[in-house]
Structure 1
Amino acid sequence: MENNPSSSRTDTKSIEQNRRNQMKDLFSKLNSVVPHQSSREATSQPDKIGEATNYIKNLQIKLEKMKEKRNNLIDIERSKNASMNMGLKSPQFKIQQMGSALEIVLVTGMDCQFMFAWQNIFFLTETIRALQEEGYDIVNASYTVVENAVFHTIHCQVGGSANGALRISEKIKKYLNGC
């Protein structure tokens, strides 16, 4: 191993030159990202670094405020949706008799779709059973999804007594209160 002082000096000089070029490149990139001040006088490198540091800190503060605002808006939206859906948590129904036809409309939330949920399939079965016990013939059963609500409709032909709609309404209320 030979110790050559001129060789080590050249290596040190080269390393230092590379380091300075890298720093110059990094300063150039930093300067291109930070918005320029409208000052006519030239600013020193330490002043530019200070401005960049302040700019980055301000951006971080703005980012935190925006995150907080976004979270608040998300919370407001969730509570708004929850309050809208609260009215739909328990199913609502309407029975309408039109001449010899009877229409039952059940409105539920998306999470309570009786065509798929076990408890609500049982409700549909109980409603159909009550209709048949009162002598109604089921003509059609369908459902429609509108936003967060599901409208289930059963059309029947009157074949039973005049008070059948009232008794069916009472049976449905009794079942819904038991759920």
Structure 2
Amino acid sequence: MAEDQKEHKISTTLNSDEKKIIRREVEKQRRMQMSILCSSLRSSLPIHLIKGKRSVSDHIGEAANYVQILKEKVKELEIKRDKLKEIISSSMVETGNELPADPSSLVKCVNINLIPDGVEIVICSGFEDCRMRLSDLMKIIVLEEGCDVVHCVTNQVNGKIFHTIKSEVEDSTHFDLGRLQNKLVHAILLAR
């Protein structure tokens, strides 16, 4: 009987040691997973938010703040989107046309091409009753994007207004054509 108790004690000690080893392994895996997740979170944040901050709790706090900032931006963009939809709908009702499935089709064209030492922008701002002014387009091109306008021609063909603008750009390799195109399209849509 003493031997049975001895064997039972040894087996419980072994089980206890095995349980400790298993718990240690599980905890090690959990810490590794947390480290990977924190690293992923840190890489998702803008660099200016994590600059100089070393602790994980600082990064998590900044991530929570950043999520709130992004939520506010989403709300602002939703308001702008709704405003654009309302403007487009009201302009379509005034003209008696139906609203197209793609609102960007209201802007007939904004075409931007790289040319030597700059860009050529061709804009068809729609019909002659469009309230878009050339000066508003120039503000975007010159003031916001930093281009130097060297040539501008405006033509009216079949009731549509075409602006051809040639401008010089300091560094065309770092110039974002897509951003300029989006700004011009939005400006034309807002002017309707």
- Fold-level similarity (TM above 0.5): no
Larger Rg, first or second structure (1 or 2): 1
Q: TM-score, normalised by structure 1?
A: 0.44
Q: TM-score, normalised by structure 2?
A: 0.41
